[in-house]
Amino acid sequence: MSGRRRFLATTLSAWAIAPVTSGSAQTGVPSGSLTKEQRDRMTPGEVLDALRQGNERFRTGKMVSRDYRDQQRSSAAGQFPSAVVLGCIDSRAPAEIIFDAGIGDTFNARIAGNVVNDDLLGSLEFACAVAGAKVLLLFGHTACGAIKGAIDDVEMGNLTGLLARVKPAMTATTFDGAKTSKNAAYVDAVARTNVLLGVDNIRRRSPILADLEKKKSIQIVGGMYDLVTGIVEFLPQG
């Protein structure tokens, strides 16, 4: 193929893809930050669908093109996020990217091993009860270092106390096979239990959030992110 023909072919295929990836009209996803009206119109089920679709766009390479500077300016006067996400600090699991969300779309809480503590519960209560988020997603991920650390009984400074919060998930995981940090299947099984226990913890320890869920004002959901496939699997409600 000549240079010019190659250029044309590239340009044309870029055109073919562009309308799918960049416009709000084509994807139904606003390229600006969520407005109060847009957020308030959504049901918790629709917010969850939006997260699902965002992850689908991410893993299929069809992310919405956003002008972050524009979003930064337009959201400066107020924020109306539709969801709050609690995930691990792992550098490979950045919520805004894997859910294809922009500035102002989601509250994002991160802590190693996505464990729940009192201060995080306070943050989640703020996000839902004060600021109006409609979905609370707690997600873990495969090959999590914090889970491996808990399995290996790592003790180091303040990390010891944090990893102690993961240990109940080890006890609660039924698993046939080697229960070591070298066994990826075991590590992921514990991570999954850790998410389910975390969701349970939130409901038990936060009457405010449990009540919002009972009234169907919010949905509390667990998820697992697969580092290899890029897929977030939403876990069945316990």
Interface contacts to Zn ion, rule CB under 5 A: 88, 90, 144, 146
Minimum gap (Å) between residue 114 Cβ and Zn ion: 7
| Cα–Cα separations (whole angstroms), residue 109 to 18, 32, 119, 120, 217 | 32, 22, 11, 8, 20
∠ CA 127-100-91, nearest 5°, is 80
The minimum distance between CB 88 and Zn ion, in angstroms, equals: 3
Q: Closest distance between Zn ion and the C-beta of residue 112, in Å?
A: 6
By beta-carbon proximity to Zn ion, the closer residue of 150 and 220 is: 150
Q: CB of 89: closest distance to Zn ion in angstroms?
A: 7
Give DSSP secondary structure letters for 192-212: HHHHHHHHHHHHHH-HHHHHH
Q: Which residues contact 225 (CB under 8 A, 6 or more apart)?
A: 87, 93, 98, 139, 140, 141, 142, 231, 232, 233
Q: Which is nearer to Zn ion, 76 or 164 (CB)?
A: 164
Comparing CB distances to Zn ion, the nearer of 144 and 224 is 144
Nearest approach in angstroms of CB 87 to Zn ion is 8
Q: Which is nearer to Zn ion, 47 or 169 (CB)?
A: 169
Considering beta carbons, is residue 18 or 185 the nearer one to Zn ion? 185
**Non-local CB neighbours of 151 within 8 Å, separated by 6+ positions:** 170, 179, 180, 181, 186, 187, 190
